[in-house]
Amino acid sequence: MHAGPALRVALACLLLCQSLPAAFAATVTPTAVTGTVQLDRPGPVIPPELYGQFMEQLGTGIDDGIWVGPGSAIPNTRGYRNDVLAALKALKVPLLRWPGGCYADIYHWRSGIGPRAQRPVTLNRWWGNKEEHNGFGTHEFFEFAELVGARTFLNVNVGTGTPREAAEWVEYITSPTNSTLARERRRNGRDAPWKIDFLGIGNEPNGCGGRMRAEWFADQFRQYVGFIAPHGGTTFIASGPDATSAEWTRTTMEIAGQHLDAFSMHYYTLPTGDWTVKGPATGFDEAQWRATFEQTYRIEPMIREQRAIMDEFDPEAKKALVIGEWGTWYDPTPGSPGGWLQQQNSLRDGLVAAANFNIFHRHAERLRVAGIAQMVNVLQAMILTDGPRMVLTPTYHAFALYRPFQGATALPLALHSPAYGSLRAVDGSAARGADGTLHLALVNLDPRTPMDVSLALPGWHGQRVSGQVLTADAIDAHNTFDAPDVVRPAAFDGARVADGALTATLPAKSLVVLALEPID
């Protein structure tokens, strides 16, 4: 699940060498941030799938978080919580990944089909040995994706499964024929086949996915895709390890590159960088706040490394880079069950999400799919539930503010910012929507200092601008079931456009998202 010491040192050196000196931060007064939006240099279209979400059978991530069953007193649609459904539809979630994660490699699909009362009870060895009653299985996942309006990312079992098992599962799901498996799907209540948009072969195969060597996994990948034949096609994704491994990526591309459509990496943000003591989700100080952002920005040199290796084998960028899992990982909430990975979600998490979106946009030519871990109740969740109650987190609000970037055309944004620690205090992203609207997202990481921003907009003639801001009084401000609106977006009227330039003052510790309307 994590990078080794040598890799961490190398990445730290790479990050620090690209950054301003940390000592400079202490000498900077509240000063200007300048830059240019290069409207005449359109980049790639930002794939909506970069805003995908990951849902694993883990703790209450699915059971009680998404699925309560049709007999529940909690209002539901065929067993899916109505409040969670409505929130996800409003978010326009483009992609759902299931069933894991580590769980994927102990999941046998036949445990999750047929009458629910007859499904076996299995043990989730990776996540606390929780008893899984398998009420949420294949049909429930694909029906849920249809209700949300999302594309599907299915992970098949390589660690304890077989190519035959995976091939039969895919036939069961996708076949329009009268094969025995397709008829079985119909008997279980689904006439028309489903589409598997993305098919992940393996999950962290160097670790919980089988403790494999790169050569062994690459051969396994070739064998699996040789027998799996989804009707309607799919994007085959080869799994890499957690974080980044140049050797693993190069070996996979050399042995299996011609058989894959995409390659996946994972990366989690730990404030301490130490898996034994990761740091608390709330009650942290500014040093931990700053360290969290310094850790999250390490994903960018990792992406550059992966891109460079893939470019050697695929210079036309036909094959996609995928970040199958990303997000913050803290020490679990005190008193929560072991292995359920429950943690609170604060303003810090909302800004971490925004920082990652800005990074993803910069690499959208190759990076085309990502999945935050996870959607409900687990790790950096969009939504928290407790019985019939539900609350939206700051991360949910960050996703909502970035909705206009889905499918928009990325524009280069050159920024000159004072430092915050080893990072720029202000980072951002720009894109042009299909209707011509210019969208800008600006993140101020400094928790104490507002930032005056002035951006040149050469060639821009509009003057109307509107915006929203996400901030709060405390760095660990968070929403609870009793106080659900402590951190939520508010209207932002501090931006002006005149004479081909935008000016705005970003509050400390804030995300500001602006929409600039073109002249008709």
pLDDT in tens, 299-344: 999 999 999 999 999 999 999 999 999 999 999 999 999 799 999 9
Between CA 429 and CA 443 the distance in angstroms is 9
pLDDT for res 13: 38
Q: Give span(s): CATH 2.60.40.1180, the chain.
A: 5-42+411-516
- Please, which residues bridge with residue 369 across strands? 322
Determine the Cα–Cα distance for residues 431 and 467; give it in Å rounded to an integer.
15
Q: Average per-residue pLDDT in the chain?
A: 93
CA distance 416 to 432: 21
At the topology level, CATH places domain 48-408 in TIM Barrel (3.20.20)
Handedness of CA 57, 195, 140, 401 (dihedral sign): positive
Residue ranges with strand state E in 71-218: 76-77, 80-81, 95-98, 122-124, 130-132, 151-156, 198-201
Q: Among residues of the chain, what percentage have pLDDT more than 90? A: 90
**DSSP code, position 65:** T
Residue 285: which residues within 8 A CB-CB, separation 6 or more?
Answer: none
Q: Which pLDDT band holds residue 205 (cuts at 50, 70, 90)?
A: very high
- Measure Cα distances from 294 to 11, 273, 299 in Å: 11, 10, 10
Among 142, 48, 141, smallest CA distance to 92 is for: 48
Place 463 in a pLDDT band, splitting at 50, 70 and 90. confident
* Active-site annotation holds for 325: yes
Q: Could you give phi then psi for residue 274, rounded to 5 degrees? A: -120, 120
Distance from C-alpha of 48 to C-alpha of 368, rounded to nearest angstrom: 8
Which pLDDT score, from 0 to 100, does residue 241 have? 74
DSSP H or E stretch at residue 513: strand 510-516
517 classed as catalytic: no
pLDDT band at 93 (very low <50, low <70, confident <90, very high): very high
The segment(s) of the chain belonging to CATH 3.20.20.80 are: 48-408
CATH class of the region 5-42+411-516: mainly beta
C-alpha span between 3 and 275 (Å, rounded): 10
Strand partners, 76: 81
Out of 171, 204, 300, 305, which one is annotated catalytic? 204
Q: What angle do CA 360, 403, 482 make, to 5 degrees?
A: 110
Q: Token pair of 329, please? A: 């990982």
Q: What pLDDT, on a 0 to 100 scale, did the predictor assign at position 26?
A: 37
CB-based contacts of 496, cutoff 8 Å, min separation 6: 465, 502, 503, 504
Give the predicted TM-score (pTM) of the model. 0.93
Q: How far, in Å, CA of 494 to CA of 471, rounded? A: 14
- Residue 226: CB atoms within 10 A of its CB come to 11
Strand spans (E) along 290-388: 320-328, 367-373, 383-386
Q: Each residue of 464-490: pLDDT tens digit? A: 999 999 999 999 999 999 999 999 999
